[in-house]
């Protein structure tokens, strides 16, 4: 029986792609308003996240250093002069990024669907804890998510390592097969947790592919209750039984 649902954050509850599009476009336009590749900046930025974040995940550099590498790479590929101070330049990007933080509307729909259920709702993200908690606070979701799990609190283990999922289940005081993980990344949020016995559910917002056999897929978080029905709290069930 599923007793807890963990949600990925970026591109699952939080609309990271839209915030990046806003921030990258604004940051680039401030340097080069008529840049011919302005419209291609956001997609490049997302590719550079995939390129540079693993070095931090593997302990090869700090979180700040992968940001510098990403920004340096972005400027080089866009033909922009490298900023004299990459940290200052990244701070400008962050200001624009944070101004555009928004949840996907179905994040609230799914929270409401499970309110009053006996299920624990939490977050399992590969992100940096301070920034991820700040996002949840801004979106009004932090009070509804407990725990918020990041590699910092899971022995430095990132998704898709088995140790990450097992440590997350242990933090919940549950067996792996009592925990579901829902997220937009097929490997990190669905296939990886399934390998350790969790219920991995792929959120495929864009209908991009057919999942492997045995991996449930949903197009919106509003469809999650069809996969994991909300159930009443044990106390409420006992109470109702007593008055039957």
Q: In the complex with Mg ion, which residue's Cβ is closer, 14 or 80?
A: 14
CB of residue 207 vs Mg ion: minimum separation in angstroms?
17
Q: Can you list the pairs that 136-143 forms with residues at least 24 positions away whose Cβ atoms lie under 8 Å?
A: 136/9, 136/13, 136/14, 138/98, 138/101, 139/13, 139/14, 139/101, 139/102, 139/103, 139/107, 140/103, 141/13, 141/103, 141/107, 141/111
Instruction: Report whether 69 contacts 52 (CB < 8 A).
Output: yes
Q: In the complex with Mg ion, which residue's Cβ is closer, 8 or 133?
A: 8
CB of residue 16 vs Mg ion: minimum separation in angstroms?
7
CB of residue 239 vs Mg ion: minimum separation in angstroms?
38
CB of residue 54 vs Mg ion: minimum separation in angstroms?
15
Enter the DSSP assignment of 80: P
User: Which of 201, 200, 198 has its CA nearest to residue 177?
Assistant: 198
Question: Where does this chain bind Mg ion (CB under 5 A)?
Answer: 8, 10-11, 184-185
């Amino acid at each position: 029986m599923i007793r807890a649902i963990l949600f990925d954050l970026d591109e699952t509850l939080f609309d990271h792609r839209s915030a990046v599009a806003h921030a990258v476009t604004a940051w680039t336009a401030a340097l080069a308003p008529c840049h011919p590749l302005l419209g291609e900046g956001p997609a490049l930025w997302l590719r550079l996240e995939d390129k540079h974040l693993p070095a931090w995940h593997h302990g090869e550099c700090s979180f700040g250093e992968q940001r510098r590498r990403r920004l340096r790479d972005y400027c080089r590929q866009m033909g922009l002069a490298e900023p004299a101070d990459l940290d200052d330049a990244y701070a400008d990007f962050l200001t624009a990024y944070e101004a555009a933080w928004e949840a996907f509307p179905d994040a609230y729909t799914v929270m409401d669907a499970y309110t009053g259920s006996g299920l624990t709702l939490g977050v399992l993200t590969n992100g940096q804890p301070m920034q991820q908690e700040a996002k949840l606070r801004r979106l009004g979701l932090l009070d509804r998510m407990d725990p918020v799990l990041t590699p910092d609190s899971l022995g430095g283990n990132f998704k898709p390592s088995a140790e990450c999922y097992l440590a997350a289940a242990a933090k919940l005081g549950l067996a792996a097969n009592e925990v579901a993980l829902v997220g937009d990344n097929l490997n990190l949020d669905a296939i990886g947790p399934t390998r350790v016995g969790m219920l991995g559910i792929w959120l495929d917002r864009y209908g991009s592919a057919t999942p492997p056999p045995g991996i449930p897929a949903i197009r919106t978080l509003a469809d999650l209750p069809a996969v994991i029905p909300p159930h009443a709290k044990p106390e409420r069930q006992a109470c109702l039984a007593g008055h039957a």
